[in-house]
Chain A
Amino acid sequence: MKKKLNSQTEWEEEMLFLRLSGDITSEGEEEFKKMLPLDEPSAPVVLDFAGVDYINSAGLALLIGLVRRCRESGRPVGAINLSGHYRKIFHMVGLNDYITVFDSEDAARLVFASENNHESGV
């Protein structure tokens, strides 16, 4: 019944993609702790929810904690492949004020790459 949460880290164009799969619940706490590598501490983070079909309130709390850590180091946070239902949940909670939800991976690349270039003066 439970699907263990896994995250795969991919660096792409100075952006960190976290490919999530499994359930986002309290049992994912340890996985969340190791999600943000220390190198490139201000690089944007894109959470890919393609492999996630179950998020509960404890999982939302973990996502909020991740956003907090990202903000502390100045990382913008985005989300891709988030279902319509969880977009609604993010909106209810207010997470969409802190996580930019993109319609596609390309849109995330485009927006965050231009922010990176702007910040580095390109």
Chain B
Amino acid sequence: MKKWPQETVQITIPSILGYEKIVLSAAGEMARNTGFTAERVEDLCTAVQEACINAIEHGNRGIKNAAVLVTITETSTGLQIEVQDYGREHLPTGLGLKQPNLEERIAGTGKKRGWGLYLMRQLVDGLEFRKAGRYNVIRLVIKRS
């Protein structure tokens, strides 16, 4: 009988926008190889993309040589992805729970950004933020279908 977790992949990227695509390639490939539907692969990739961008821009404040460590683990139901940064900014646990107000933003009165965490919450089956020593860790759990 299979024991889970079965496979783990770790990737380290610098805090440079664009490098998150390397993570997406790996996570997408792993998802396809472990039976994810095409739709869930795309959901996973967008959620992981936003987690990595958050780590690059906020957790590491764009300091290029501050690494973002991504750990992708196969589970019995899908994949778990942890994205770790240096925790330069604190992540409150409720982030992304509330939908940003598009009407205000269209009117030019609200904040311009802030969709990433909301999208993560919408696209995955589980999302947690935690502090691990000095680091911030975002954990995404996504099922195959």
Contact = CB atoms under 8 A, between A and B. Distances in A.
Interface of A: 1-2, 25-27, 54, 56-58, 60-61, 64-65, 67-68, 71, 84-85, 89, 92-95, 97-98
B74 interface: no
A78 B102 CA distance: 17
B119 interface: yes
Contact of A68 (B42, B53, B108): B108
B31 to A, nearest CB: 14
B49 to A, nearest CB: 6
A25 B56 CA distance: 14
Contact of A89 (B106, B112, B119): B119
A67 to B, nearest CB: 6
Given A1-B21, A27-B17, A68-B107, A95 B115 contact: no
Contacts, number: 61
Contacts of A25: 17
Nearest to B116: A57
23 contacts: A2-B18, A26-B17, A56-B50, A56-B53, A57-B119, A58-B113, A61-B105, A61-B112, A64-B105, A64-B112, A65-B112, A68-B108, A71-B106, A89-B46, A89-B119, A93-B100, A93-B102, A93-B115, A93-B119, A94-B102, A95-B102, A97-B102, A98-B106
B115 A61 contact: yes
Interface of B: 17-19, 21-22, 39, 42-43, 46, 49-50, 53, 99-100, 102, 105-108, 112-116, 118-119, 122
Contacts of A2: 17-18, 21
